[in-house]
Amino acid sequence: MLELDASQIQMGRVAANKDEALAMLGDALASAGLATAAYLEGLRAREAQGSTFLGQGIAIPHGTPQTRDQVLRTGVCLIQFPAGVDWGNGQLVHLAIAIAAQSDEHLHLLQLLTRALGEGDLSQALREAREPAQILELLQGAPQALALDGQLVALGQPAEDFDELLWQGARLLRQAGCASSGFALGLARGEPLPLGDGLWWLHSEASVERPGLAFVTPAQPLSFRGEALRGLFCLASQGEAHRQALERLCDVLIGGRAAAFSEASDSRQVIEALGGEVPPDWPSLALPLLNAHGLHARPAKVLSELAQGFAGEIRVRLQGDAGAGVSAKSLSRLLALGARRGQMLEFSAEPGIADAALPALRAALEAGLGETVEPLHEEASAPAAPVQAAPVAPLAGSSLQAVAASPGIAIGPALVRTPPVFTFAERGQGGDHERSRLDEALRSVAAQLQRLVDGAGVASIREIFSAHLAMLADPALREDVEARLATGASAEAAWQQEVEDAARRQEALHDPLLAERAADLRDIGNRVLAHLCGVELPGEPSEPYILVMSEVGPSDVAALDRQRVAGIVTARGGATAHSAIIARALGIPALVGAGDGMLALAQGTPLLLDGDSGLLRVAPAAAERDQALREREQAQRRREQAHAERLQAAQTRDGLRVEVAANIGASGETAEAVELGADAVGLLRTELVFMEHAQAPDQAAQEREYRRVLDALDGRPLVVRTLDVGGDKPLPYWPMPAEENPFLGVRGIRLSLQRPEILETQLRALLASADGRPLRIMFPMVGAVEEWRAARDMVQRLRAEIEVADLQLGIMIEVPSAALLAPVLAREVDFFSIGTNDLTQYCLAIDRGHPTLSAQADGLHPAVLRLIEMTATAAHAEGKWVGVCGELASDRLAVPLLVGLGVDELSVTPRSIALVKARVRELDSQQARALAARALTLDSAGAVRALVAEMH
């Protein structure tokens, strides 16, 4: 975000020429820690390509794409030159704003900055300013204009009373970005003011984002408090922006022309009467922007110069935006559009010049506005939509590979459930009636969800349904539904449409984790619809069965009777979906992503699924089935035995102790992990703590979470990983530039070191929460010794302030370079914890989430085992301990090898603790060592698996 403060501004400087000014700016960026000294070359190269003069005495020097890697942190430095600096062509600059920004942020900065500039010429005021505060005022002081345009006027709306009109006005303001949720309530609490002639006025200052005025009229005349109700003005009030419109409104009413509003048949009439901006009725043309970095300074300049060549006005706006747009001749206005590649620009030109101007604009945009551009993919190669063949059911006797989502073997007849069909009328029987039906449905579903929360024996399920309850009560969702009800929609139509819109918005976030939350929204959506439509969601057969669905909503899984549902197969979905998490928590074997063919299976087709390997057999032969049943029985016996001994230590037959710890993401999971036999928490993924907050949690909030874990551990050690986010798993409140390859980009410790204040707060919270209990802190994704040292030094500095009695510092070994450097690192760290999930992906160069390759990303590959061996040997040579906290640690076949390679601690999902402990107890450490040594000589993961399976 562009945040200007006085410390960024140098006043009263003198530069003989532009180059000297650039050197001063480069220096300022470097001393502010925003860019390296080499960034100056970027500033110079950029000016050589074209001047960055913006107009109004302002220039905005910035680097080239080639020098972006010299940017350390996004920010700006401002220098005032009262005597002016010639920026070329006699253009005098009094304020230079040097920008250090990477890729997309650049455009956003420009957009914010140029929006701050008013229409008048600032150059004199900038030259004469004496204090930084005056410059700030000039740049930030532009008052927000009142939004008043076509999208804020709705005439002839179906409404039965004052309240319905009010909801509609509030909704218009919300949709235009003038108000957020809570505004409608504020409006409803206001005192309606009669303006005469059936016109009413309401305003609120609560939840206003920017000032705006909406006007709504009912389809048929209504009355309110004994007077006519022909139209309602709703004002989102902020500052003085509305004063002019209000004065115009009074003039119109005093002049006896209220009919301009109450009888208006077209929104233009209303806007014109209020003095708002009406888009001109000129010839227009919509064109896509092709430039890779959007309409940034260089192409914008080419565009403005082209427009200036015509002796008439040319306006431009982003397609879909309201209002008349901005002048295409103004560079600052063009930048303020913030247009990105692929967005449509709508040009309109005065009729006298349109014939010449519009084709010239088309040609210039297609040619790239001075830059080399690629056509948009959709245009270049939009293939004919593939003809969707009806899915074909897999044949009896066949096997297919799906994604393993929850372990265990399940056998049973298929119960294929297709999504419920709801039929309902679009129009309702009046706002009050529909509202009370919806209220009743919401109350009943809330009670259902509360029962699920209360009855859930597992913390993760409780949390999911608590989140569903919160979604159900979301005031923004309710407000939008209210607005639809106010237009006469039925409760079902209003609810379904809003839930679907919200789910689509969620999916559009292009973040797999957030997108999967769309399934949660649809899930609560269906619950409410089923209630409203009186649809009984289908019951289950009495025999234990395998549930087959397209995607399984969390409530589907949790509502299942575990005695009767043997397993779950979904046609779609990923292993991180909530349904998969719930299936794991409930211990129901599950496969996901088995393909749409599954939905075409005949009901009752026998299925055999293996939730460990991901293999599904359709109508298996009797021998296969019997074998699987025997294996399952053995596994069941093993599990029961292991569970009974879960609280005992894991020791090999010859007395080697291996610590078995838990991987957890939320502080609330600790007690359960201890109950399931955890000797420690071996990996607390703190990013989940951060993801649960709308903003980065402060020290106190974090301390509460960490104390909760340490309290529940009751003296057992806690290994915490510092925040591990980045391009692959961004935090919503920590926007990051898109990276072409986020797994190789700014993630883990790299990101933390770029934002040291966040790391420092986290470390302070950790140290402060320890209170003498054993705390181990480790840093994720360390690939270079300097990264470890920088992080360690920060802890040492804080230790001088906050006393900690029992602290160890270590790193995760997830990057091959760290494993290869383990002999060096081991001298400095207290421990290593090997993250085999990432170590495997980086060692084998296979994206861990790749839809087709990830099955080959096997941590038992001898290349990965060699890295583990090097790490363990290096650690022990320095007397340090080493753990494994990736998924490999809970793999039954991997345990003997990891123990044989010298791993001291295995950290696994809580449900696997007992089994891993049991597996350790079966081993002899000498034999395990010999087995590991042989595995290291093999040539593939398959050969290693075969070796271990044979010894079994």
Binding site for Mg ion (CB under 5 A): 814, 835, 838
The pattern of x and - marking residues 625 through 664 that bind ligand PEP according to CB under 6 A reads: ----------------------------------------
Contact status: 837 vs ligand PEP (CB under 6 A): yes
Q: How far is the CB of 206 from ligand PEP (least distance, A)?
A: 41
Residue among 394 and 748 whose Cβ is closer to ligand PEP? 748
Q: How far is the CB of 885 from ligand PEP (least distance, A)?
A: 5
Structure tokens at 892: 């039954």
Parallel, antiparallel or unpaired: strands 227-229 and 222-224: antiparallel
Residue among 724 and 858 whose Cβ is closer to ligand PEP? 724
Distance, CA of 234 to CA of 212 (rounded, Å): 8
The phi, psi pair for 525, rounded to 5°, reads -55, -45
Which of residues 70, 330, 836, 871 is near ligand PEP by CB under 6 A? 836
User: Per-residue DSSP letters for 650-683?
Assistant: EE-TT--EEEEEEEESSGGGHHHHHHTT-SSEEE
Contact status: 810 vs ligand PEP (CB under 6 A): no
Distance, CA of 611 to CA of 629 (rounded, Å): 14
Q: How far is the CB of 837 from Mg ion (least distance, A)?
A: 5
The phi, psi pair for 611, rounded to 5°, reads -75, -5
Which of residues 523, 556, 672, 838 is near ligand PEP by CB under 6 A? 838
Set 94, 242, 296, 468: catalytic member: 296
Q: Is 861 tagged catalytic? A: no
Q: How far is the CB of 767 from Mg ion (least distance, A)?
A: 23
Which of residues 169, 218, 294, 835 is near ligand PEP by CB under 6 A? 835
**Closest residue (Cβ) to Mg ion?**
838
Set 77, 178, 843, 885: catalytic member: 885
Distance, CA of 171 to CA of 150 (rounded, Å): 14
With CB cut-offs between 5 and 8 Å by kind, which of ligand PEP, Mg ion, none does residue 886 bind? ligand PEP
Chain residues 693-732 in contact with ligand PEP, contact rule CB under 6 A: 724
Q: Buried b vs exposed e over 864-889: b needs ≥16 C-beta within 10 Å?
A: bbebbbbbbebbeeeebbbbbbbbbb
Q: What are the E-state strand segments in 775-853?
A: 775-779, 807-813, 831-834
Structure tokens at 524: 């609560």
Q: How far is the CB of 847 from ligand PEP (least distance, A)?
A: 13
SS3 of residue 927 by DSSP: helix
Chain residues 397-426 in contact with ligand PEP, contact rule CB under 6 A: none
Q: How far is the CB of 837 from ligand PEP (least distance, A)?
A: 3
Say if CB 437 and CB 567 are below 8 A apart.
Answer: no
Looking at 19-27, 711-719, 835-843, 868-876, which segment touches ligand PEP (CB under 6 A)? Answer: 835-843
Say if CB 562 and CB 544 are below 8 A apart.
Answer: no
With CB cut-offs between 5 and 8 Å by kind, which of ligand PEP, Mg ion, none does residue 885 bind? ligand PEP
Q: How far is the CB of 722 from ligand PEP (least distance, A)?
A: 12
Set 77, 578, 843, 861: catalytic member: 578
Distance, CA of 69 to CA of 67 (rounded, Å): 5
Q: Is 178 tagged catalytic? A: no
Say if CB 763 and CB 790 are below 8 A apart.
Answer: no
Distance, CA of 736 to CA of 751 (rounded, Å): 10
With CB cut-offs between 5 and 8 Å by kind, which of ligand PEP, Mg ion, none does residue 836 bind? ligand PEP
Distance, CA of 287 to CA of 551 (rounded, Å): 39
Distance, CA of 580 to CA of 586 (rounded, Å): 10
Structure tokens at 468: 């569903």
With CB cut-offs between 5 and 8 Å by kind, which of Mg ion, ligand PEP, none does residue 114 bind? none
Distance, CA of 544 to CA of 415 (rounded, Å): 10
Residue among 200 and 842 whose Cβ is closer to Mg ion? 842
Helix (H) or strand (E) holding 822: helix 822-825
Say if CB 584 and CB 596 are below 8 A apart.
Answer: no
Structure tokens at 656: 């080697």
Distance, CA of 218 to CA of 893 (rounded, Å): 71
Four-CA torsion 453, 454, 455, 459, nearest 10 degrees: 60
Residue among 233 and 779 whose Cβ is closer to ligand PEP? 779
Looking at 7-15, 62-70, 803-811, 833-841, which segment touches ligand PEP (CB under 6 A)? Answer: 833-841
Q: How far is the CB of 849 from ligand PEP (least distance, A)?
A: 11
Q: How far is the CB of 814 from Mg ion (least distance, A)?
A: 5
Q: Is 433 tagged catalytic? A: no
Contact status: 885 vs ligand PEP (CB under 6 A): yes
Which of residues 276, 883, 886, 896 is near ligand PEP by CB under 6 A? 886
With CB cut-offs between 5 and 8 Å by kind, which of ligand PEP, Mg ion, none does residue 890 bind? none
With CB cut-offs between 5 and 8 Å by kind, which of ligand PEP, Mg ion, none does residue 869 bind? none
With CB cut-offs between 5 and 8 Å by kind, which of Mg ion, ligand PEP, none does residue 773 bind? none
With CB cut-offs between 5 and 8 Å by kind, which of ligand PEP, Mg ion, none does residue 646 bind? none
With tokens 């179906």, the residue in question is 158
With CB cut-offs between 5 and 8 Å by kind, which of Mg ion, ligand PEP, none does residue 891 bind? none
Looking at 333-341, 433-441, 785-793, 831-839, which segment touches ligand PEP (CB under 6 A)? Answer: 831-839
Largest CA distance in the chain: 101
* Number of helices (H), then strands (E), in the chain: 36, 33
Q: Which whole-number Å values give the CA distances from 729 to 183, 511, 564, 736, 888, in the listed order?
A: 33, 8, 37, 10, 21
Residue among 213 and 746 whose Cβ is closer to ligand PEP? 746
Residue among 607 and 683 whose Cβ is closer to ligand PEP? 683
Q: How far is the CB of 836 from ligand PEP (least distance, A)?
A: 5
Q: How far is the CB of 666 from Mg ion (least distance, A)?
A: 18
Say if CB 930 and CB 948 are below 8 A apart.
Answer: no
Structure tokens at 695: 């903003």
Q: How many CA atoms lie within 13 A of 80 on its CB side?
A: 25
Q: Which of 860, 925, 916, 918 is nearest to 890 (CA)?
A: 916
With CB cut-offs between 5 and 8 Å by kind, which of ligand PEP, Mg ion, none does residue 149 bind? none
Distance, CA of 646 to CA of 518 (rounded, Å): 37
Q: Which whole-number Å values give the CA distances from 807 to 667, 798, 802, 878, in the listed order?
A: 20, 12, 12, 18
Q: Is 578 tagged catalytic? A: yes
Residue among 325 and 835 whose Cβ is closer to Mg ion? 835
Looking at 30-38, 185-193, 632-640, 830-838, which segment touches ligand PEP (CB under 6 A)? Answer: 830-838
Structure tokens at 383: 């293939």
Determine the straight-line distance between the first and last CA of the chain, rounded to whole angstroms: 58
Set 62, 242, 531, 861: catalytic member: 62
Q: How far is the CB of 687 from ligand PEP (least distance, A)?
A: 8
Residue among 557 and 906 whose Cβ is closer to ligand PEP? 906
Residue among 136 and 666 whose Cβ is closer to ligand PEP? 666
Which of residues 551, 672, 814, 869 is near ligand PEP by CB under 6 A? 814
Q: How many CA atoms lie within 13 A of 88 on its CB side?
A: 10
Residue among 810 and 835 whose Cβ is closer to Mg ion? 835
With CB cut-offs between 5 and 8 Å by kind, which of ligand PEP, Mg ion, none does residue 702 bind? none
Residue 759 burial class via C-beta count within 10 angstroms: exposed 0-12, middle 13-18, buried 19 and up: buried
With CB cut-offs between 5 and 8 Å by kind, which of Mg ion, ligand PEP, none does residue 685 bind? ligand PEP
Total residues interacting with ligand PEP, rule: CB under 6 A: 10
Q: How far is the CB of 863 from Mg ion (least distance, A)?
A: 18
Residues binding ligand PEP (CB under 6 A): 683, 685, 724, 814, 835-838, 885-886
Q: Which of the residues are catalytic?
A: 62, 296, 578, 885
